[in-house]
Amino acid sequence: MRQAGTYSGMVISGKTGPHLLPLARIKKIMKKSGEEVKMISGESPIVFSKACELFIKELTQRSWMVTIKGKTRTLSKEDVASAVLATDLFDFLLNLVSQSAPAPLHPKPPN
Amino acid sequence: MEKVVSEAEELPKAIVRRLVKDKLSECSPDYDFNVHKDAHLAFAESARIFIHYLSATANDICKESRRQTMNAEDVFKALEEIEFSEFVKPLRASLAEFRKKNAEKKGGAAKENEAKRKRKLEDSSAKNGSKTKQKKLDTNKEEEQEEGEEEEEGQGDGEGEGEEDNRESE
């Protein structure tokens, strides 16, 4: 939390500053992604942290684009779901949104 | 949304919230947008799944190269594979900056450590010398100079010797 406070200025200015997301947490999530993920180099979580930031920003932007079509100023989870459905890039999230969206337009991707 | 995930495995909500807010103010500098609580959860959960997805892909790439440890290059290749190649350039730049800062820190820290070690050696050799002299003094003059002993121990290098001279003359 303190990290966010310290570095938020750098994020707003658009500089590629130090990581915001806690590396230890990211490592935990990575290790949970599969039993086989055991050894991770010191730099990998840093790349993940930044990748995650970029991902969240991308998803935010696309969700916002749905929100403004609806002429409201509140971004809802349905907007996020619509953005996921509308973007091929976010197909890996279809499982997540299929529960919140009324009816998925795309079939679930095969595993 | 299925949530069998403990908090320790989630990304910090405050940071996710901040990232979303920052992006929204970029998208819409004139108007403030609100974000529903459920939407924040959706963002956090999506990011977590993204990490899983990217990890698994990077891990596969690592294994194909017959290595045990996943490295940054594996992650870059994985991003290309999952069609997030537009992320690769800014991430490389970010990593390069981090490496640079790290190298500077290490360089600076190494110099500091060396200087500290030198100082310690100098201090300890000087103290050892004065301590042995003070101990001899203490054993000789325990009864008379209890207060004096305390003062001696508290003092630094050269003064002990000076006092010894004085006492001897007395």
Measure Cα distances from B159 to A2, B57, B101 in Å: 48, 69, 45
Kindly identify which residue of chain B lies nearest to residue A33, measuring between CA atoms. B52
Contacts of A20 in chain B (CB under 8 A): 15, 18-19
In this prediction, residues B117-121 reach a mean pLDDT of 87
Rounded-to-10 torsion of CA A10, A11, A15, A17: 70
Q: Indicate whether B44 belongs to any domain.
A: yes
Q: Indicate whether B24 belongs to any domain.
A: yes
Cβ–Cβ below 8 Å for B97 and A39: no
Q: Indicate whether B102 belongs to any domain.
A: no
Whether residue A108 lies within 8 A of chain B, CB to CB, comes out as no
Q: Indicate whether B40 belongs to any domain.
A: yes
How many whole angstroms separate alpha carbon A26 and alpha carbon A41?
A: 13
Cβ–Cβ below 8 Å for A51 and B63: no
Mark out the alpha helices in A21-106 (DSSP H runs).
Answer: 23-32, 44-69, 77-86, 94-97
Task: List own/partner pairs for A34-37 with CB under 8 A and 24 or more apart.
Answer: A34/B55, A34/B56, A34/B59, A36/B59, A36/B63, A37/B55, A37/B56, A37/B59, A37/B70
Q: Indicate whether B89 belongs to any domain.
A: no
Q: Indicate whether B139 belongs to any domain.
A: no
Q: What is the CATH number of the domain that holds B29?
A: 1.10.20.10
Question: Into how many domains does chain B fold?
Answer: 1
Prediction ipTM score: 0.73
Say if pTM beats, i.e. exceeds, 0.90: no
Residue B37: give the domain boundaries.
7-83
When pLDDT is cut at 50, 70 and 90, the band that residue B124 belongs to is confident
Share of chain A above pLDDT 90, in %: 41
Residue of A1, A56, A63, A72 to mutate for B, most B C-beta atoms under 10 A:
A56
- Which tokens hold the place of A59? 């998803």
Measure Cα distances from A31 to A37, A44, B12, B84, B161 in Å: 5, 12, 17, 21, 63
B40 Cβ contact list (under 8 Å, min separation 6): B13, B16, B17, B20
pLDDT greater than 70 at residue B142: no
Measure Cα distances from A66 to A18, A74, A90, A91, A103 in Å: 31, 11, 15, 17, 17
Rg (CA), chain A: 17
Which residue type does A86 have? Answer: A
Cβ–Cβ below 8 Å for B98 and A46: yes
Q: Indicate whether B166 belongs to any domain.
A: no
Rounded-to-10 torsion of CA B108, B112, B114, B117: -160
The predicted-structure confidence for B5-53, as pLDDT tens digits, reads as follows 666 678 888 999 999 999 999 999 988 899 999 999 999 999 999 999 9
- Which tokens hold the place of B100? 């640079």
When pLDDT is cut at 50, 70 and 90, the band that residue B152 belongs to is very low
Q: Indicate whether B153 belongs to any domain.
A: no
